[in-house]
Structure 1
Amino acid sequence: MAVPARARRTARHSRRFELRATAVYFVLLALILALVGAAARTATAAAVHRPAWAVALVLMGVGAVTAGYRGKRRISAARIARRAAEALDEATQTAVEALEAASPAPSVGLVPAGAGALGGRLGTEPTILLPETETETETETEAPADTVELAYEALDPYEFEEAVAELCRRDGCLDVEVVGGAGDLGADVVARTPDGRSVVIQCKRYCDGNRVGSQDLQRFGGTCFTVHGADVAVVVTTSDFTAPALDYAEQCGIVCFDGPQLERWQEGRGPLPWEPKPSAG
């Protein structure tokens, strides 16, 4: 009687842990992650300057992944690393080209023909300003800035004091200072004339219907000479003075400058407040 032979069991060989293969795997994985991170940073920098390039790179990556899946080919780690390096290099070149294209070269505006002797203006496009020459038009310097008429009535009190101080600087005064404010004791502008005299000015920005009265002059007269040591005391207003105010100013030696006199002073065709004239009533 024949005894049936038992089928031999196939021995299962357990996969041994290979240190070399594992180390190579992790090294390649780290290299791939580093390349992916560098490519991501480069793509982010390129996307900031040229979003269109970033969109194109994303579409190319999606197309490459789709083609890989359709081909159903096994890609080795070495091939992945090589292609990642090539993609990184291409992305770097693209980013450099995008940055160079993002910085336009300055363009020089052309001067119209025949405008050299007349100082023709440059175009409105971005230009490189050329140094001024002596052939510029003289009409640009005919009216100096200090002859521009100002609407003093439209200024606030502090701006009016600054305007009066600027007139003093224009006409040669030194050490001009605006001191008006709380506790100024009547002095709004102090200066020193070209011949060394001390000038104390009180500024009254009033409307036409509001005239400077004698009480204003008396308060100023009580401090301009004794407290501030003025050689010349001046009250400048945009309106006018009352008759009692003019009488008091003449007695005390205070110079009164009303609206028309202030206008002539501003235009440079009238007497200066510190000229040797005790009153201008």
Structure 2
Amino acid sequence: MFSLLTGRWGISLILLALVLVVLSLGVLVHRVWTTHRREREGDVAWRREDAVARGGRRLADSGVDDMTGTAFEEFVADLCRRDGCTRVRRVGGARDDGVDITGLLPDGRSFVIQCKRYSQKRAIPGAAVRELIGALTHAGADVAVFVTTTRFTAHALETARANGVPVVHRDLLGHWCAGATLPALIALDGAGQGPTRRRGRTGG
């Protein structure tokens, strides 16, 4: 009887040890996988930021900082056409109601674009984004995009994202000039804006 109980306890201890080993291996595998995922995500983020930065440096070659407002609108319209957009028209002017460019994306969706060629010392305020939101409703377009040569205030970015308005700040504009397409920039939804310490600050 004693030997039988001893045998059962021995088997139980062996099973318990096996369970503990399996659990330990599971924890170890999870930690390795989590670490690998974080490193991979960090690498992807770094590569994206580096690509945006490289685009930003190429932006200087485009001459946008020396363009007039009208010339900048034409420049953006040309980028749209390059990316396969159709029916692209520049409609900006003194009474443009917040819309400078209209057209159709390659997938057929209609879009309106507001362009602001500002000095890097200025930032796009939330009020300007709200104006474009109103213009989108008035025009009945599918997508509204805000394109600028500078940055957006935190409030402006928050307003844009809350209302589904993609923004193309200076860094993404550089990326656009370097070959990124408008649909790809729309999907980024304003990501990658550089630190504000490199540029002038303004309220919004």
Range of TM-score over shorter length: 0.5 to 0.7
Equivalence for 1:253: 164
Does the C-alpha gap of structure 1 residues 149 and 191 become closer, same or farther in structure 2, counting only changes over 3 Å? farther
2:78 to 166, 171, 176: 166
**TM-score by structure 2 length?**
0.61
Equivalence for 2:12: none
Structure 1: which 5+ residue stretches go unaligned? Answer: 1-146
Of structures 1 and 2, the one with the larger relative CO (CA 8 A, separation 6+) is: 2
Q: CA deviation at 1:274?
A: 6.5
Output the aligned Cα RMSD: 2.0
**Greater C-alpha Rg:** 1
Spell out structure 1 runs of 4+ moving beyond 3 A. 273-276
> 2:167, 2:186 within 8 Å by CA — same for their partners in 1?
no
Equivalence for 1:73: none
Does 1:233 find its partner at 2:144? yes
Does the C-alpha gap of structure 1 residues 148 and 205 become closer, same or farther in structure 2, counting only changes over 3 Å? closer
**TM-score by structure 1 length?**
0.45
For residues 181 and 175 of structure 2, what CA distance do their matches in structure 1 show? 8
Say which SS state the counterpart of residue 89 (structure 2) adopts.
strand
Equivalence for 1:279: 189
Q: Deviations over 1:212-233 (max 9, x none)?
A: 0001111111121x11112111
> 1:185, 1:223 within 8 Å by CA — same for their partners in 2?
yes
Equivalence for 2:135: 223
Give aligned pairs, total.
133
The percentage of aligned residue pairs carrying the same residue is: 41
Equivalence for 1:197: 109
Bigger share in helix: 2
Does the C-alpha gap of structure 1 residues 183 and 176 become closer, same or farther in structure 2, counting only changes over 3 Å? same
Say which SS state the counterpart of residue 166 (structure 2) adopts.
strand
Structure 2: which 5+ residue stretches go unaligned? Answer: 1-58, 192-204
Q: CA deviation at 1:155?
A: 0.0
> 2:65, 2:117 within 8 Å by CA — same for their partners in 1?
yes
For residues 178 and 217 of structure 1, what CA distance do their matches in structure 2 show? 19
